[in-house]
Amino acid sequence: MAEDVVSIRPAEPEDAARLLALVRALTQQSDTFTVDEGLGQLTEAREREQIEQITRTTTNIILVATLGEQLIGIATVQATADITAAEGEVGVAVLKAYWGQGLGTALVEELIRWAQDFSTLKRLILTVQCRNQRATQLYLHQGFQPQAPEPHPVLDLNGEQVPAVDMVLTINAD
Q: Is the pLDDT of residue 22 over 50?
A: yes
- Residue 172 pLDDT class (50, 70, 90 cuts): confident
Residue range 158-172: average pLDDT? 91
Q: Which residue has the higher pLDDT, 142 or 149?
A: 142
pTM as predicted = 0.90
Q: Which of helix, strand or coil describes residue 84?
A: coil
CA 42 to chain centre: 18
Where do runs of H (alpha helix) occur along 30-157? Answer: 44-54, 103-117, 133-141
DSSP class of residue 4 equals G
Q: So what's the pLDDT on residue 36?
A: 62
Architecture of domain 2-170: 3-Layer(aba) Sandwich (3.40)
Task: Say how far apart CA 84 and CA 73 lie, in whole Å.
Answer: 27
Among residues 108, 122, 136, 106, the alpha carbon closest in space to that of 170 is found at 122
Q: So what's the pLDDT on residue 1?
A: 40
Cβ–Cβ < 8 Å for 72, 94: yes
Angle at 110 between CA 109 and CA 116, to 5 degrees: 90
**38-97 pLDDT tens trace:** 566 778 899 999 999 998 999 999 999 999 999 999 999 999 876 567 999 999 999 999
Task: Say how far apart CA 19 and CA 77 lie, in whole Å.
Answer: 15
Q: Which of helix, strand or coil describes residue 150?
A: coil
